[in-house]
Amino acid sequence: MALPVAFFAVFFAYPVAAIVRRGLRVDGAWQFGRFADVLGDQGIRHVLWFTTWQALASTALTLLIALPGAYVLARFDFPGRQVLRAVVTVPFVLPTVVVGTAFLALLGHGGLLDQLWGVRLDTTVWAILLAHVFFNYAVVVRTVGGLWAQLDPRQEEAARMLGASPLTAWRKVTLPALAPAVAAAALMVFLFTFTSFGIVQILGGPAFSTLEVEIYRQTSEIFDLSTAAVLTLVQFAAVGAILAVHAWTVRRRESALKLVDAALTARRPRGAGQWALLAGVLATIALLLLLPLAVLVQRSLTAPGFGYYRALTDPDGGVFLVAPITAIGTSLSYAAAATAIALVIGSLAAAALTRRDAGRLVRGFDALLMLPLGVSAVTVGFGFLIALDKPPLDLRQSWILVPLAQALVGVPFVVRTMLPVLRAVDVRLREAAAVLGASPWRVWREVDLPMVRRALLVAAGFAFAVSLGEFGATVFIARPDNPTLPVAVARLLSRPGDLNYGQAMALSTILMVVCAVALLLLERLRTADRSGEF
């Protein structure tokens, strides 16, 4: 626990505390009266209510739409399965400003629905909810599907042979085993939608505002740091309460599961019902995920002769100190470093949390690990600039600052992906190895690692994906001569002109392709790992 605790204390708690202190301490006195003033404001209360109910609605809708996809990709074997698994993850790494722009092109004035049927959904809550499902679909598919693929199907088949209906067998056998993974996925989706920023700002218009949007407005437009600090603490308290309830419910549902090789559970669909389910999932993915991505690609190609892509190779002194195309290499190197950090920190934390004799302090850290997903990225970004500016933590000019900020978001995904599998390992296997004379290190290498290796690769893919697309904190700390892809896209979108907009769409398309290739390679490595080649 030492390294994870130190990492979060230095690079999360300290910067956030610095921002809060700067906002609430004026002339040496704490301004606690600001809580009553801010929370008594009718507009702020409306923001709090909308933030909560839209996050709940987005989470429920995402689970409803994505759980069938998790089942299909976990249990069905069909051509293009690996490619499809990589494709559904691509939306998750897109900057939220790009997601909002893509849905605005579909649902807004002059969009596809407007042209076909005269229907506009921009500035409505439905546009926000659909964009949240688009963004978080992969969270459910990969978190729940990763465990679902390793559940022994013979347990459900045995229940069917004893007379249980398919629904009863699924409800009594499979659902309790999946409950921790479903809860983890729901928690991550809720936290992402609870702190939604770019999507709400672009699609919601002035009528809708979340806490994240309000914190940004108070910080960068009104320059009221005290109100922003109060809203940050409110957000912090709400997320902490949610995580505490989640940790309690997950531990109540823990049980040892019988896990098998995922390659043995997937089979070709059988019967009209399974083929219809596969067709429905493919249609959902095509309409909800691929259509917005197709809009981005189409708009990046509207200039003749790939003009927008060729323009990326020219330095633009008005926005960047280097050619925009260099953001690709910068993003890949930063994401690789952030993934390595997240895997080390997350794996150590997950291993410590697996111990059933762990004390309350260790179990409480389970909830604290998720806080970076629920605390304003604006606060974290400003906190890095304010807190990490003096020796021995003067990192403002160091390249490692961006990977550290990205790793803060990647660690919770590593923990949430590995923890259900680690907790499902039968403790008697470890005890038997120890009785036979194996050291703790060898027990982990011979017993735990073979069973969690697939989950580790899934965690690496998630950490890489979220690092590649992280925008909220990176936008404040990325240097002008080393912009990441999301930062470059946002800066181009903020400037008027068709050339800048086209370059933003071209960079977004490149980001999609890079992510899809990386995730496809991960899928191939994972398949080779199951076949014993690695």
Q: What is the CATH number of the domain that holds 419?
A: 1.10.3720.10
H/E element holding 105? Answer: helix 96-107
Within a domain: 306: no
Within a domain: 307: no
Which residues, other chains included, contact 324 with Cβ-Cβ below 8 Å and sequence gap of 6+?
312, 316, 483, 488, 492, 503, 507
Within a domain: 383: yes
H/E element holding 418? Answer: helix 401-424
Within a domain: 249: yes
Q: What is the pTM for the complete model shown?
A: 0.75
Q: Which residue range forms the structural domain that includes residue 137?
A: 2-300+314-530
Number of domains in the chain: 1
Per-residue pLDDT at 299: 80
Beta pairing partners, 26: 29
Per-residue pLDDT at 53: 92
Per-residue pLDDT at 533: 37
Environment class of residue 240 by beta-carbon count within 10 Å: exposed (0-12), middle (13-18) or buried (19+)? middle
Task: Please give the distance of CA 368 from its chain centroid, rounded to a whole number.
Answer: 16
Torsions phi, psi for 30 (to 5 deg):
-80, 135
Q: How far is CA 94 from CA 78, 107, 119, 132, 472, in A?
A: 27, 18, 26, 12, 12
Within a domain: 474: yes
For residues 62 and 282, what is the distance between their CA atoms, to the nearest angstrom?
A: 16
Within a domain: 309: no
Structure tokens at 58: 């987005």
Task: Please give the distance of CA 165 from its chain centroid, rounded to a whole number.
Answer: 36
For residues 348 and 144, what is the distance between their CA atoms, to the nearest angstrom?
A: 22
Residue 150 near residue 454 (C-beta atoms within 8 A): yes
The three-class DSSP label of residue 25 is strand
Per-residue pLDDT at 219: 75
Environment class of residue 532 by beta-carbon count within 10 Å: exposed (0-12), middle (13-18) or buried (19+)? exposed
For residues 484 and 60, what is the distance between their CA atoms, to the nearest angstrom?
A: 32
Write out residues in the chain with pLDDT < 70, as ranges: 26-28, 109-111, 246-266, 316-321, 355-364, 367, 374, 519-520, 522-534
Per-residue pLDDT at 534: 31
- Report helix, strand and coil shares of the chain as percent, to nearest 5: 75, 0, 20
Sign of CA dihedral 343, 347, 353, 354: positive
Per-residue pLDDT at 86: 76
Per-residue pLDDT at 62: 95
Alpha helices in 425-497 (DSSP H): 427-435, 440-443, 449-469, 474-477, 485-493
Within a domain: 320: yes
Within a domain: 222: yes
